[in-house]
Amino acid sequence: MTSIPAGRIIRFALLSLGALMILAPYIFMISTAGKTQSDIFTSSLSLIPEHFYFAENFAKALSKVPMATLLWNGVLVCGMIFFFQVLVAIPCAYAMAKLKFRAARLMMVLVMLGLLVPIHATALPLYVAFDRMSLLNSYTSLVAPFTISVFAIFMFLQFFRAMPDDLIHAARLDGMSELGIVARVIVPNAWPAVTAFAIFSVVAHWNDLYWPLIVVSKQAYATPPLGLMYFRAAEAGDDYGALMAATLIITLPLVVAFLFAQKRFVEGITMTGLKG
């Protein structure tokens, strides 16, 4: 029992080596966030800073970037997007999955087409339209195009199809209206799908740079990725200590959320990733 087979050792070594490469950016991010400018220039390979400069770098990052505004914008935008996506998608998916809906097939075609079209393809006309309506630099422009998620419809559709029809029949016999059924039977039972979709949606929109970059040009409405871009372009230059500190602050919320709810994250991404 004491001897470990060679295969296991090799496997473990390979995995560790790969893990180290994956972790390297994080390690250097944390280490550099604690270094003085001169440390950064002279000893880039030593991981432990010679002078602990964390406080100064973080202070600099926080003073130059309205970090609270960025994070608040990120939370607000992601929250609103997610709220509307679920609000719109669940009734639609329910109608397609469980009601005698003559347009269900047509809807399915629309959904499949919609799955194909990313924001990058629709951005130009939407930008023109928002510009005409003077809606650029607003939460509306950040949120509105994402209120419809065909992906959400697709996912909930799969989930509802697997739900037993008898559940809905029983609810109808109990005298519930269709809306009542959606609110009191379907939604409570759809929690696994809702959380999985929440993770998918938040990760996607928290990270999105393309659309905010197009419709927002004022810092007041900047989301975290956009804010970081401004900071890097305007203020920081080669001040990598402060830059890494800012990076750390902005990366942290999602990474912490991931570390706390890893299983849900992985489930969410897998569930959203594998069709059917």
Residues 46-85 that bind another protein (CB under 8 A): none
Query: Which CB sits closer to another protein, 198 or 229?
Result: 229
Rounded to a whole number of angstroms, the minimum distance from the CB of residue 251 to another protein is: 5
For every residue of 139-207, DSSP letters joined together read: HHHHHGGGS--HHHHHHHHHHHHTS-HHHHHHHHHTT--HHHHIIIIIHHHTHHHHHHHHHHHHHHHHH
Rounded to a whole number of angstroms, the minimum distance from the CB of residue 137 to another protein is: 14
Instruction: Among 65, 70, 77, 96, indicate the residue that binds another protein (CB under 8 A).
Output: 96
Instruction: Among 62, 75, 88, 176, indicate the residue that binds another protein (CB under 8 A).
Output: 88
Using rule CB under 8 A, residue 194 touches another protein: no
Distance, in Å, from the CA atom of 212 to the CA atom of 156, rounded to the nearest integer, reads 27
Sign of CA dihedral 164, 169, 174, 177: positive
- Cβ neighbourhood burial of 269 (10 Å; 0-12, 13-18, 19+): middle
Distance, in Å, from the CA atom of 195 to the CA atom of 199, rounded to the nearest integer, reads 6
Query: Which CB sits closer to another protein, 59 or 87?
Result: 87
How many residues lie near another protein (CB under 8 A)?
91
Q: Residue 77: how many CA atoms within 13 Å on its side-chain side?
A: 33
Using rule CB under 8 A, residue 34 touches another protein: no
Q: What are phi and psi of 252, to 5 degrees?
A: -55, -50
Using rule CB under 8 A, residue 117 touches another protein: yes
195-254: which residues touch another protein (CB under 8 A)?
203, 206-207, 209-210, 213-214, 224-225, 228-229, 232, 240, 243-244, 247, 250-251, 254
142-181: which residues touch another protein (CB under 8 A)?
144-145, 147-148, 150, 153, 178-179
Query: Which CB sits closer to another protein, 68 or 259?
Result: 259
